[in-house]
Amino acid sequence: AESEKHPSALLLELCGLLQAEVPHYDWVGFYFRNGNKEELKLGPYVGDPTDHTIIPFGKGICGQVAVSNSNFVVPDVKAQDNYIACSIHVKAEIVVPIFVGGENIGQIDIDSETADPFTDADIELLEGVAAAVATLLESQGISDPAAEL
Ligand code: SME
């Protein structure tokens, strides 16, 4: 049963499902606030391995979302000054924060090798995913996902 699966396995499956179902999703993963530190830690993901397993708050697209608490849609990564490149093939990125109890505890991050691919439909989908992940974390009593997932 799904309930017997570890939440990290569920999140990994969710990444794989999104990558398989949406043609313009190439790298799909989670970053979570690393305990009390002002940094993000890489969680479950699918796609090319990344060196950026820790991202300080404020750095890159992900680090900016950690402090802005807002979605960040990047149609063209080359136009961004504050950007951390994980792969030379990536053309666009979208990051949607995950809120538990009103707190920004992490994010879903998607890289695309397609130029300017994201629309309101992606935002709607990913806000739904973020809300579902928040519910999963809450229901499983996972208060420190960076340590537990
Ligand atoms: N591009 C991100 C870094 C994470 S990789 O996309 C997996 C950023 O600028 O924050």
Report yes or no on 146 lying in a domain: no
**Domains in the chain, number:** 1
Distance between Cα 51 and ligand 1 center (Å): 10
Per-residue pLDDT of the chain (149 residues; tens, 9 = 90+): 555 689 999 999 999 999 999 999 999 999 999 999 999 999 999 999 999 999 999 999 999 999 999 999 999 999 999 999 999 999 999 999 999 999 999 999 999 999 999 999 999 999 999 999 999 999 999 999 999 99
Report yes or no on 145 lying in a domain: no
Distance CA 95, CA 102 (A): 17
Report yes or no on 98 lying in a domain: yes
CA 38 to chain centre: 17
- Say which DSSP state 75 is in: S
Report yes or no on 90 lying in a domain: yes
User: Which protein residues touch ligand 1 with a CB less than 6 Å away?
Assistant: 27, 50, 52, 55, 60-63, 83-84, 86, 93, 109, 111
DSSP-assigned states of every residue in 38-74: SEEEEEEEESS--S-SEEETTSHHHHHHHHH-S-EEE
CATH assignment of the domain containing 54: 3.30.450.40
The protein residue whose alpha carbon is closest to atom 7 in ligand 1 is 86
Report yes or no on 149 lying in a domain: no
Distance between Cα 109 and ligand 1 center (Å): 7
Q: Which pTM value belongs to this model? A: 0.96
What is the span of the domain harbouring residue 76? 2-138
Report yes or no on 54 lying in a domain: yes
Report yes or no on 42 lying in a domain: yes
Query: Who's near 51: CB < 8 A, 6+ residues apart?
Result: 86
Query: Who's near 19: CB < 8 A, 6+ residues apart?
Result: 25, 26, 27, 28, 46, 47
